[in-house]
Structure 1
Amino acid sequence: MNQSPKKLAELYRHTLLDNVIPFWENYSIDNEYGGYFTCLDRDGSVYDTDKFTWLQARQVWTFSKLYNHVERRPNWLEVAKKGYRFLKQNGCDEKGNWYFSCNRQGEPLVQPYNIFSDCFAALGFHEYSQATGDEEARNIAVQTYRNIHDRQDNPKGKYEKSVPGTRPLKGFALPMMLSVLNLEMEDILESEQVEQSFERCTQEVMEVFWDPERKVMHEYVLEDGTFSDSYEGRLVNPGHGIEAMWFIMEIARRRSDQELIERAVDITLDLLELGWDQQYGGIYYFLDSDGHPPLQLEWTQKLWWVHLETLISLSKGYLFTGREECMEWYEKIHDYSWSHFSDEEHGEWFGYLNRRGERYTSLKGSKWKGCFHVPRAMYECWQTFEALDQQDR
């Protein structure tokens, strides 16, 4: 290991508390209408005021999480409250389905077609209820979780564009997301439902979407779990699969299932072998499982969240197994990520690089990038390296 666990823990702690969180505190708060601005340029200047439900909820989760697990700072709880109140008032329709976006004032812009708005609303409201004891926040989180389960077999509902029956696909993202929802919310859910959901999610991620012959995690498979020889069926997002593996590791740790942890580490390493750009470094955004040209023209881009989630998976993999391959890969990803994405001058991390590792855009936040992946990774890696430091003593 190039740096000691103690030094790495301090790097992540310092970056989280003194660099990343101040950026969002200083620039994202909408003191007039509530909620947060997420379309922020490099220096924190706002370039668009639309509010995207999943990013609003992610920021509620982030500041509530800090308040609950790092330090009970009143200013962090106040930031979380800004987003909670905005979402409670404006975020969903009369049936409890969460809009994709609103304008600055809170008027809905995009219908509730995206179930991940609901997923992050449940996460954010649950964590906020843990910070405040707010019973209404807790009830909304539980009801939203139930709505997600009711929709999981047809997540887009009436907004689904595909013709039923011709090529019936199911996606990897929802069982992956339900894995972390169960981990985060199990203290307020019925234990039998949580266990059943854990079992279903683990089985789907590890047995249905993971393809041991191709050594890829498919983003889509046919409804019967078989391979679809199509653009969608061949689509691979290495970062998505790697992120899911640290969720699986945490489920396995909860169950004292060392064999499952080892399998999750194996898959992490296989996906890195597939996704690493041997010429320029960094992890590809998309690939085709059979080596054909991907449909996504941005497939060669290097994204912040892909690398951050990989740092989490590798550090946890090393903590749980001690396997040297995890630390070898960790150091490679660490060196690339910190030298390319981190912005020491203005704070936070850049989001998008081209294949050569050159900055593609100056943004720090957008419709897709908000106050979530960077702070969560800083927190998770901080805690993991502190645990490794304790092991070394």
Structure 2
Amino acid sequence: MKNIIERRDFLRNMAFSAAGLLSSQKLLWAVGEDADGKPFSVTAFPYGTLEQLAGKKIKDILEFHKKELKEEYIPFFENKRIDWQHGGYLHEFNEDGTHVPYKEMYYQGRGLWVHGYLVNNFSVSDKFKKSLIKSRDLLVQNGLDENGYWVSKISADDGKPLEPSTNIYGDIYMILGLTQTYLATKDERDIDLAIQTAYKVTERIVNPAYQHLAGHGAANIPGTKRLGTWVHFLSAITPLLKVRKDEGVDRIAQMCAHNILNYHWQPGLRVYLEYLDHQFKPFPPNPVLNNRFISAWHSVQAAFVVMDEALRLGHAPMFRDAMETGISTLEICWLDKRGLVSLDNPEMKPSSEGSLVEWWGMLDDILVFCLLALEHNHETLAIKYYDKAFELGYSHPEKWRKPSPYPGGQRGMFHHPRRLFYSIEILERIVAHDGKPSNFLETAAR
């Protein structure tokens, strides 16, 4: 691996050229495909067909999502999220309509991913394509520190670093964004930097002193293992490995999946614990720090990112195990009038009292999980919870489908577009198979 300081100087001093780098060919390796970017074949067994979801025919729900993406989300991203003047992405505004004076790398990587995905999969203008390069340049030339970590915040206008790196989440989403950018540019520097960043993330998360400062809540006890860490990281490196094979990153991905399924998942309790101690063991009850928390949201995400990794590896038992953890999470944490409810401890039951859960990304991720399960296995509970999440989400379209730029609102830069992108990908394959499941669980390693 190249020396990070030398590489940083190289990237700072050499602006990328947009000319000749963009391809109109669809290059995306989709969620749910194998290691070579190919969909699985239809089953040869006489299973029934999946004809409808959420009261709609499968073809109709596919067209519904395509229309939503084309008519609502793409104009929103183009008009409200791309910083055409400076590059990068506008993720948060003041109530007077002015953008905050900084850009968080956490959202910049996500924005780069959305931007790259749209370039790779849709007919967009040359201006839209060139703005992807402009954004990539702004982030690469200003976002790396002397250690090869991505800083937490840069200035909204000139990209000057404002806040040093405090956690690994901005880095993770830059991996995702750079991978999509590489598919658009075919510039080896993009994918090389994504791989290098994966190693730099690993360097920190295996460090016993790492505390997740300013990452998904308050700081943790040094050495704490977080479910969200493995989930977010795996969601970025599985797509990376579908684009570029790297033995070291492959083992990192398997580490993430192993930690999720074999440590955070508690078979006797049928839940994922969000926090484990430095020895990967559950924390005892503590009146000061609640380290026995169950994040229902991270749990559903854990299920489908491990399922996607299992598809990449061709590992049927891993897929089944992950699918069962997702179903179990929904059975325990779902309430019809509230949505997906997280729990303070494993003994707690979801309370029907309280308002609708406002974290709409949970519903997005439930839909992705259920579709990925249904593509390969017509699990009746996946149908049940797809219908429930769809009905709850679309009964509040003003909140779910119209992201808010203001603090605390939906920024519409990850879970919302990911649900649309992945739903369309999976539904297209289900339609191509005439509603029959794939042959993955029959032919993959057992």
Can you list the C-alpha shifts for 1:188-221, whole angstroms capped at 9, x where unaligned? 6554224322322221111100111111111111
Residue 64 of structure 1 aligns with which residue? 116
Quote the residue 1:355 is aligned against: none
In the alignment, structure 1 residue 225 sits paired with structure 2 residue 283: no
TM value normalised by structure 2? 0.75
Structure 2 residue identity aligned to 1:290: E
Kept after mapping to 2: 8 A contact 1:99/1:108? yes
Larger mean CA deviation between 80-89 and 331-340 belongs to 80-89
Which of the residues 45, 51, 67 maps onto 1:14? 67
Q: Is the 8 A contact 1:52 1:367 kept in 2?
A: no
Distance 1:9 1:212 in 2: 35
For residue 223 of structure 1, report the CA deviation from its aligned partner: 1.9
What is the DSSP-based 3-state SS (H/G/I as helix, E as strand, rest coil) of the residue aligned with 1:54? helix
SS of the equivalent of 1:392 reads coil
Note the 1:204-353 alignment, pairs <5 A: 204-229=259-284, 230=286, 231-278=289-336, 280-285=337-342, 287-291=344-348, 301-342=357-398, 348-350=401-403
Aligned Cα root-mean-square deviation (Å)? 3.0
Letter in 1 for 2:338: G
What's the TM-score once normalised by structure 1's chain length? 0.85
Paired residues for 1:127-276 under 5 Å: 127-154=180-207, 157=210, 168-187=223-242, 189-229=244-284, 230=286, 231-276=289-334
Q: Bigger CA drift: 9-18 or 66-75?
A: 66-75
In structure 2, the residue corresponding to 1:102 is in which secondary structure?
strand
Task: State which structure, 1 or 2, has the greater radius of gyration over its C-alpha atoms.
Answer: 2
Q: Out of 66-75 and 170-179, give the one that drifted further.
A: 66-75
Q: Percent identity?
A: 22
Give distance in 2, aligned partners of 1:337 and 1:158: 34
Report if aligned partners of 1:99, 1:110 keep a CA contact under 8 Å in 2. yes
Quote the offset at 1:32 in angstroms.
3.1
| CA gap 1:37/1:374 in 2 versus in 1, 3 angstroms | same
Q: CA deviation at 1:325?
A: 1.3
Task: Measure how far apart 1:52 and its partner are.
Answer: 0.8
- Deviation by residue 1:125-160 (Cα, 9 ceiling, x = unmatched): 222122112233233222212211222213875986
Structure 1 gaps, min length 5 = 351-361
1:288 alignment partner, SS class:
coil
Residue 79 of structure 2, aligned match among 26, 40, 43: 26
Give, in angstroms, the shift of residue 322 of structure 1.
0.9
- Cα distance in 1 for residues equivalent to 2:209 and 2:98: 31
Q: Is the 8 A contact 1:122 1:145 kept in 2?
A: yes
From the two aligned structures, give the one with the greater helix fraction: 1
> Contact 1:92–1:98 at 8 Å: present in 2 too?
yes
> What amino acid does structure 2 have at the position aligned with 1:322?
H
C-alpha contact (below 8 Å) 2:269/2:346 kept by paired residues: yes
Match of 2:417 among 366, 375, 382: 375
Task: Identify if the C-alpha distance between structure 1 residues 181 and 159 changes in structure 2 by more than 3 Å, giving closer, same or farther.
Answer: closer
